[in-house]
Amino acid sequence: MKNVTLAKQLYIIFSVIFMTSCDQSKVTVFSNCVIPSFPEANSIACADGKITSIGNDLIGDIMIDLQKGVVYPGFMDAHLHLVWYGKAMEILDLVGTKSATEVTHIVANAYDGSKQWIVGRGWDQNDWEEIQFPTKEMLDMVAVDQPVYLHRIDGHAIWVNSSVLSICGIDRDIVDPIGGKILRDSDGNPTGVFIDNAMDLIKRFVPDNSKNDKQRQIINAVRKLNQFGLTAIHDAGTDKETVHILKELIAQEQLTIRVNAMLNDNSDDYKEFFTKGPDITDRFLSVRTVKIYFDGAMGSRGAALLEPYADDPKNIGLNLTDEKIITEKVNQFNAAGFQVAVHCIGDRANRLALDIFERSGNKNSRNRIEHAQIIHSDDLPRFFDLGVIPSMQATHCTSDMYWIDERLGEERLHEAYTWQSLLQTGSIISGGSDAPVEIPNPLLGIHAAVTRQDTNGWPVLGWQPNERMTIDQALASITSWAAYSMFAESYLGRIKPGYMADFTVLSHDLSKIDPAQIPSVNVHSTIVNGKVVYKQ
Ligand SMILES: [Zn+2]
């Protein structure tokens, strides 16, 4: 009782100070909750979007009963694709298809004989009974006169039909661009699959997403992300139109997630910000990062490896951007106050990016490597030494573990998804989902991080289980470490007075349940800037 009284008195004193300094802002108290980082407290008071105090039985102008929910700092996704995720909800969903034939059935259903492009995403030949890239003829059988354009699950390959090839003027004379690959038959004719930079030959003919389309896709995506408990995201490749839409939504007080935009490496998209310098004035949107692609992905054998693929001995993968150009860009962007995030999946891409960051010497820029999937053991300590942040996605490990041994061979498997080895060198890891490549449910990410098993409990001991994270590390990767990787560690990622009032409220304390149960935990509510933006 004595403690309660003291807490109340302290609260009243604090409130008086706060309310005089903040123009009599209303105080919202989230009560009747469990706070793992403050086991003695049961309520959190907030005003003006910020936490003002944490204590017992606090009283405010607005009282919100969290019904014994467990309150975590707001979960962040440090790498996803916002517009693409919203768009994925509107196009053909091919995730989980078991054969090329199943995909063609879905396309046949969408076929209406018009000139409108049939667009879809999510196929993955690694999941099919016959593990082979599909061909344009398969699509021609169900839609010969209507363009069909289907993204592979990772966005690093597309599968199109003959109608698209004729619209784009592509025949056997077309040359593979640098950093790209066109699959061909024995006569040199394109078979309908285009990898990495070769996708650009087609992409520019795809009808544009209008600004209205983009706005709707962003709003739908954000609603869904809030349902998953997310309060902030890092958008891995933002165009300037998206930045403007986000600013409009902020002005209308409609944006219910914080966005750290990583601008596309395309002067049209970054020029405007480059001249003005980083835009970090609004805590709902920060624009201070540029994202560059260095290599492709494992699934389509575009990741740049030091030694050839075990299942394709003449192939060491693709460099999508020239090393010299990346070096120049890192220096230019860092000098202008921008962080650089480089997409690197293979061990060769990771090593070269670390070499570039080492030469640039801009430790304070907090440059990042997105994915950092395959790292040679000699390069592990270099992340910490150079202040380079590995930004990794735990569910990539549990999606790839079924076939990655074929790509890498047994002797390189220890290089894959080396979370604990990186953490042991002193590095942090910012955690994300890469949605829509994976589902952006942070509970699935935490489960994958602490078990390295799929949701059916396979493999029994976990895949390369020595690289698992602890539950505290997994939580840090999507809270305080994700905040650090966007320069927001002084106001995001913790439950502490002065920090933004962003919370993910769960039905269970994750450290007190069997890790196998984590995917079935419920999100009770999501709170952003002191407001409930989702309630179950
Ligand atoms: Zn991505």
Q: How far is the CA of 236 from the centre of ligand 1 (A)?
A: 6
More confident site: 444 or 2 = 444
Give distance in angstroms: CA of 287 to centre of ligand 1.
17
CA 438 – ligand 1 centroid, Å? 10
CA 16–ligand 1 middle distance (angstroms): 46
296-312 in b/e burial notation, b at 16+ Cβ within 10 A?
bbbbbbbbbbbeebbee
What is the percent of the chain where pLDDT is above 70?
Answer: 96
Q: Please state the rounded mean pLDDT for residues 305-332.
A: 92
Q: What is the pLDDT of residue 364?
A: 95
Whole-number Å distance, alpha carbon 154 to ligand 1 midpoint, is 8
Distance CA 60, CA 497 (A): 15
Q: Which residues pair with 171 in a beta bridge?
A: none
Residue 27 CA to ligand 1 centre (angstroms): 39
Provide DSSP, 390-418. Answer: EEE-HHHHHHHTTTHHHHH-GGGGGGBS-
Going by C-alpha positions, the residue among 348, 442, 77, 354 that lies closest to residue 236 is 77
The string of pLDDT tens digits covering residues 25-37 is 899 999 999 999 9
Please give the distance, rounded to the nearest whole angstrom, from the Cα atom of residue 463 to the centre of ligand 1.
Answer: 23
Using alpha carbons, select from 310, 415, 428, 406 the residue that is nearest to residue 373.
415
For ligand 1, the distance from its centroid to the CA atom of residue 76, given in whole angstroms, is 15
* Mean pLDDT for the chain overall: 93
CA of 326 relative to ligand 1 center, distance in Å: 18
Over residues 7-19, the pLDDT tens digits come to 545 444 444 444 4
Side-chain half-sphere CA neighbours of 15 within 13 A: 20
* Å from CA of 433 to ligand 1 middle: 8
| Ligand 1 centroid from CA 405, angstroms | 22
pLDDT in tens, 482-516: 999 999 999 999 999 999 999 999 999 999 999 99
Q: How far is the CA of 474 from the centre of ligand 1 (A)?
A: 19
CA 60 – ligand 1 centroid, Å: 42
Gap from CA of 370 to ligand 1 centroid (Å): 8
When pLDDT is cut at 50, 70 and 90, the band that residue 368 belongs to is: very high
Max alpha carbon distance in the chain (Å)? 86
pLDDT of residue 19: 40
- Name the pTM for this structure: 0.89
How far, in Å, from the CA of 298 to the mean position of ligand 1?
A: 13
The residue-averaged pLDDT of 439-467 equals 98
* Average confidence (pLDDT) over 158-186: 95
Q: From the CA of 142, how far away is ligand 1's center (Å)? A: 31
Q: Using an 8 Å Cβ cutoff, are 402 and 454 in contact? A: no
Residue 257 has pLDDT above 80, yes or no: yes
Distance 79 CA to ligand 1 centre (A): 6
| pLDDT computed for residue 25 by the predictor | 82
Mean pLDDT along residues 154-159? 91
Ligand 1 centre from 393 Cα, in Å?
9
The residue written with tokens 């699950």 in the block is 153
> How far is ligand 1, taken at its centre, from the CA of residue 55, in Å?
40
CA of 12 to the centre of ligand 1 (A): 47
* Amino acid identity, position 502: D
How far away, in angstroms, is 453 Cα from ligand 1 center? 22
CA 366 distance to own-chain centroid:
18
Predicted confidence at residue 21, as pLDDT, reads 39
Q: Find the range with the poorest average confidence among 149-153, 296-300, 344-348.
A: 296-300
pLDDT of residue 281: 81
- As a whole number, mean pLDDT of residues 237-259 equals 96
* Model pLDDT, residue 1: 40
What is the 80 CA–ligand 1 centroid distance (Å)? 6
Average pLDDT over residues 404-408: 95
Give 278 Cα–ligand 1 centroid separation in angstroms. 22
- Res. 342 pLDDT band, cuts 50 70 90: very high
**Ligand 1 centroid vs 434 CA: distance in angstroms?**
5
**What's the CA-to-centroid distance between 235 and ligand 1, angstroms?**
9
Q: SS3 for 445?
A: helix
pLDDT band at 322 (very low <50, low <70, confident <90, very high): confident
Confidence class for position 72, pLDDT limits 50, 70, 90: very high
Q: Hey, is 100 helix, strand or coil?
A: helix
CB crowding 86-106: b at 16 or more within 10 Å, else e: bbbeebbebbebeebeebbeb
Q: How far is the CA of 238 from the centre of ligand 1 (A)?
A: 11
Cα–ligand 1 centroid distance for 373 (angstroms): 12
Q: How far, in Å, from the CA of 201 to the mean position of ligand 1?
A: 20
Distance 207 CA to ligand 1 centre (A): 22
